[in-house]
Chains A and B, each alone.
Chain A
């Protein structure tokens, strides 16, 4: 997994609450589990005027000019700013893959849905949770100032704004460690293979009906 330490980037504002994973990547693109190539179809139904199908060349598709992903001032942004309960609904990890493939490395929202939140950490995507008022203020500032960029520093768990504010965010220490070092979850777990085997033995004795 790709590690994450620092990020200085433009911010893409997606001013909607309860953005569901069906909206992040529509179901017709879920027939692949390659983990890459989903970026062109990120927010497909909001981003394009036609109906997206897998395997299309995105270059020729008519775009919805009002949608933020199609606006030049946010081109190249690697941070997505959004509202409450981002990533709700379907457990599809394709939502995270699409964000990553598009180039997003960090998300800022007042809250994230549980399954999506867990999936982020499996793919080097940092979900940053800030208070609803702080998020609201960032939306306002971003609108007022073109080229608005933020600096994320994972080791100190801080976000620096152009105004000079230093915003702290909370993060689970174990997840932070894995993200900082780009560690593979399966590899880490298998370091405890002995414990797992010992546990399995116990379990076979305690609940044999699970192993028939």
Chain B
């Protein structure tokens, strides 16, 4: 597909290439730079959704929802989860402030081509196992630096059968495997999703765009620098136990023992993580009690995520030991859709809070935070020490698993 590793010289991507700077570096052109809370699109029509607009929300939810993210685009934002947009066969990645400045001033970025990694998932995911479990499984397998320097293409029958929202969840967390870019080849699912969205092309332009978009896939026999093959049957409901997304086990797993780790650097990380998380080696994940539950974030705040959580919650009550359970839709449109389906009433009746769209408890930059020592089942993407509030203990999992933890009061299989 989009031959990320061959930015210079391959036919599919020559259109993105502006000038060679050195044997190793090239200037690539950007189609969209997302700045701040609004979507300021360089080179495209200007769009901005203020806080009072129903279209407002998390940029990685709103961009795709509006059709502002299109296949074949090159998209950057000052946020590492920009990889989400790769689900559309777009080359999308997070950059720092200086790079944002560089794009706004020049429409370009100077880059080295990324190496290519193929993550191929074949078979069928089991019942109760979803995109979040899959990406946590991948991160657990290759590690949080496993794809550093690479762009990951997610492929295989599982990805082909997956919805766009599921693909976005998977690509969102490519960065947690070390890859700035995670992407999926364009297919009918992509095109059906984009069609008719406010910023998508129409009429003759739509036809012209389709012809190009259909070319955005890997060539047969394409060579990758690394290939990871995963049997979907091996993927189980996952929960992180530590302070890095790679510290993850399935729901039947146990907290590992540092004594079993031969590498002294990794052993030290395990010791630090266990102390921070207040966990003993060998503890079964199932049964660890949670204080708070957060369903939301750019990883898992789309309508399918909320439906999956609501299905678990329906007719049940949040456990007495859970102090706060939040559902935070990713955009005003997701919220409206959920309300039209009655999902808000299901959550509210169970004892969840039903919130206005935004990032909420994902990153502790607002008042939705964990207190020191509080343990949270969270559908967000980072379990770093202090991420959801100083001293807070985050466990990453899927919306169905988070909802199940809210009802049971502890980690358990998805109901």
B124 at the interface (CB under 8 A from A): no
The chain A residue with its CB closest to the CB of B205 is A209
User: In the assembled complex, which residues on chain B have CB atoms less than 8 Å from the CB atom of A90?
Assistant: 79-80, 363, 382
Residues A207 and B112 in contact, CB atoms below 8 Å apart: no
Residues B27 and A173 in contact, CB atoms below 8 Å apart: no
User: In the assembled complex, which residues on chain B have CB atoms less than 8 Å from the CB atom of A132?
Assistant: 265
A196 at the interface (CB under 8 A from B): yes
B304 at the interface (CB under 8 A from A): no
User: Which residue of A84, A91, A196, A212 is within 8 Å of B18 (Cβ)?
Assistant: A196
User: Which residue of B23, B180, B208, B268 is within 8 Å of A115 (Cβ)?
Assistant: B180
The chain B residue with its CB closest to the CB of A122 is B98
User: In the assembled complex, which residues on chain A have CB atoms less than 8 Å from the CB atom of B410?
Assistant: none
A7 at the interface (CB under 8 A from B): no
Chain A, residues 121-156, CB within 8 Å of chain B (1/0): the string is 011000000001000100000000000000000000
User: In the assembled complex, which residues on chain B have CB atoms less than 8 Å from the CB atom of A196?
Assistant: 18-19, 27, 29, 106-108
- Taken together as a complex, chains A and B put the C-alpha atoms of A185 and B96 apart, in Å, by 13
Residues B178 and A200 in contact, CB atoms below 8 Å apart: no
User: In the assembled complex, which residues on chain B have CB atoms less than 8 Å from the CB atom of A15?
Assistant: 268
Interface of B is mostly: loop
Residues A88 and B102 in contact, CB atoms below 8 Å apart: no
Q: In the assembled complex, how far is the CB of residue A57 from the closest CB belonging to chain B, in whole angstroms? A: 20
Residues B365 and A27 in contact, CB atoms below 8 Å apart: yes
The chain A residue with its CB closest to the CB of B93 is A115
User: Which residue of B29, B98, B200, B387 is within 8 Å of A185 (Cβ)?
Assistant: B98
Chain A, residues 176-212, CB within 8 Å of chain B (1/0): the string is 0000000001101110110110011011001111111
Interface residue total, chain B, C-beta cutoff 8 A? 67
User: In the assembled complex, which residues on chain A have CB atoms less than 8 Å from the CB atom of B373?
Assistant: none
Given known A16-B268, A22-B382, A172-B112, contact A91–B95 (CB-CB < 8 A): yes
User: In the assembled complex, which residues on chain B have CB atoms less than 8 Å from the CB atom of A22?
Assistant: 382, 384-387
- Taken together as a complex, chains A and B put the C-alpha atoms of A158 and B85 apart, in Å, by 40
Chain A, residues 72-93, CB within 8 Å of chain B (1/0): the string is 0000000000011100111111
Residues A85 and B79 in contact, CB atoms below 8 Å apart: no
Given known A196-B108, A202-B15, A207-B212, contact A51–B390 (CB-CB < 8 A): yes
B73 at the interface (CB under 8 A from A): yes
User: In the assembled complex, which residues on chain B have CB atoms less than 8 Å from the CB atom of A186?
Assistant: 101-102, 105-106
The chain B residue with its CB closest to the CB of A85 is B145
Residues B98 and A119 in contact, CB atoms below 8 Å apart: yes
User: Which residue of A83, A119, A174, A211 is within 8 Å of B96 (Cβ)?
Assistant: A119
Residues B148 and A173 in contact, CB atoms below 8 Å apart: no
Q: In the assembled complex, how far is the CB of residue B66 from the closest CB belonging to chain A, in whole angstroms? A: 13
User: In the assembled complex, which residues on chain B have CB atoms less than 8 Å from the CB atom of A211?
Assistant: 43-44
Residues B25 and A113 in contact, CB atoms below 8 Å apart: no
- Taken together as a complex, chains A and B put the C-alpha atoms of A87 and B86 apart, in Å, by 22
Which residues of B are interface residues toward A (Cβ below 8 A)?
15, 18-19, 21-25, 27, 29, 31, 43-45, 70, 72-73, 78-80, 93-99, 101-102, 105-108, 110, 112, 144-145, 148-149, 175, 178-180, 199-201, 205-206, 208-209, 212, 244, 246, 265-266, 268-269, 272, 363-365, 382, 384-387, 390
A-B contact pairs, 6 of them (CB 8 A): A20-B382, A45-B390, A90-B382, A91-B94, A200-B107, A206-B212
Known: A118-B99, A174-B24. 7 other contacts (CB 8 A): A18-B246, A33-B97, A113-B145, A122-B99, A196-B29, A200-B29, A211-B43
